[in-house]
Amino acid sequence: MVNYKELGLVNTREMFKRAVAGGYAIPAFNFNTMEQMQAIVQAAVETKSPVIMQVSKGARNYANATILRYMAEGAVAYAKELGCEHPEIVLHLDHGDSFELCKDCIDMGFSSVMYDGSSLPYEENIKISRQVVEYAHKYDVTVECELGVLAGVEDEVVAEESHYTKPEEVIDFSTRTGCDSLAISIGTSHGAYKFKPEQCTRDPKTGKLVPPPLAFDVLHEIEKKLPGFPIVLHGSSSVPQDEVDTINKYGGNLPDAVGIPEEQLREASKSAVCKINIDSDSRLAMTAAVRKYLAEHPDHFDPRQYLKPARENMKKMYIHKIVDVLGSNGKLAQ
């Protein structure tokens, strides 16, 4: 048993309280590789932002949970080395699908876990969520739960259709589970193909898809039911079209990839939405930079040569999200 506090990590409680009160959101970036971790920490330190580093099932399969846990511990030391005296870094389990998995992560030093029972019947979701909360709170680990179903594909989280969160359920759910934050479904979606072309309109000038707007009415109703309660948005990459274009220019094939417009995320950040999950944008930034570099330097074969611009490009994207979209820059407690 390792407590996250010994590793210099923090839970989400205080940062969410400040984010809700201050009208901004904390970035939750997924990480699988050292380059992503470095870029996240560099971006957070340079912008003086709290940050959530999250680990999905795919990340655990790819990189191994133990290695990722040590990388998060390293992230704290790295942030200090970069000059941040009191970094606020959360190590969060993304889409935990069982009590046992959440417990394992808590026991190995995660400071926050998500239990996702959104695909289960309502009462079953409450029962297991409650069990996770009871265990987590013994160690001051914070818990995110989910109500409503997001469409899209995220690692092994797949849903064909989305169901918006029902505002009439949120009080009962949050009271009975005791969760610290609630992931809701208001039209965001996992992956780089968030919407089918038939759900969108097309910009006549660029030919690019324009996605349907988020259900802000549902969000506002939820906020009214749970004033000040931390709300989480999953599947909130914007799928930047310049990265998609770069990928396609240098041999990729991502037609009609589309995400959530940044203006809408900026709008959501000002509400009780205090955690916004971004994964696909980092994948796109990395892939675009690698494709471009390799196309321009066919004779290079040292991974450091192409991973360096990949890391730079991800860092630029993280800084942009923090400063221009979520507004968490300069929000460290001290």
Q: Which residues bind Zn ion (CB under 5 A)?
A: 234
Closest to 36 measured CA to CA, from 71, 73, 79, 87: 71
Which lies closer to Zn ion via its Cβ, residue 92 or residue 311?
92
Which lies closer to Zn ion via its Cβ, residue 57 or residue 234?
234
Is residue 50 within 8 A of residue 44, CB to CB? The reply is yes
Q: Catalytic: which of 94, 97, 155, 279?
A: 94
Amino acid, single-letter form, for residue 35 = E
Q: Where are the alpha helices (DSSP H) in 23-121?
A: 34-47, 57-63, 65-81, 99-107
Which lies closer to Zn ion via its Cβ, residue 237 or residue 328?
237
Sheet architecture: strand order including 151-154: 157-159, 151-154, 189-190
Alpha-carbon gap, residue 76 to 305, rounded angstroms: 26
Buried-state track 63-86, b at ≥16 Cβ within 10 A, e below 16: bebeebbebbbbbbebbeeeebee
Would residue 116 show up in a list of annotated catalytic residues for this protein? no
Which lies closer to Zn ion via its Cβ, residue 30 or residue 269?
30
Structure tokens at 269: 């950040």
Q: Smallest distance from the beta carbon of 234 to Zn ion, in angstroms?
A: 3
Q: Smallest distance from the beta carbon of 157 to Zn ion, in angstroms?
A: 6
Q: Smallest distance from the beta carbon of 215 to Zn ion, in angstroms?
A: 17
Q: Which residue is nearest to Zn ion (CB)?
A: 234
Q: Smallest distance from the beta carbon of 95 to Zn ion, in angstroms?
A: 6
Q: Smallest distance from the beta carbon of 94 to Zn ion, in angstroms?
A: 6
Which lies closer to Zn ion via its Cβ, residue 42 or residue 118?
118
Alpha-carbon gap, residue 44 to 85, rounded angstroms: 12
Beta-carbon count within 10 A of 153 CB: 16
Catalytic residues, by residue number, are 94
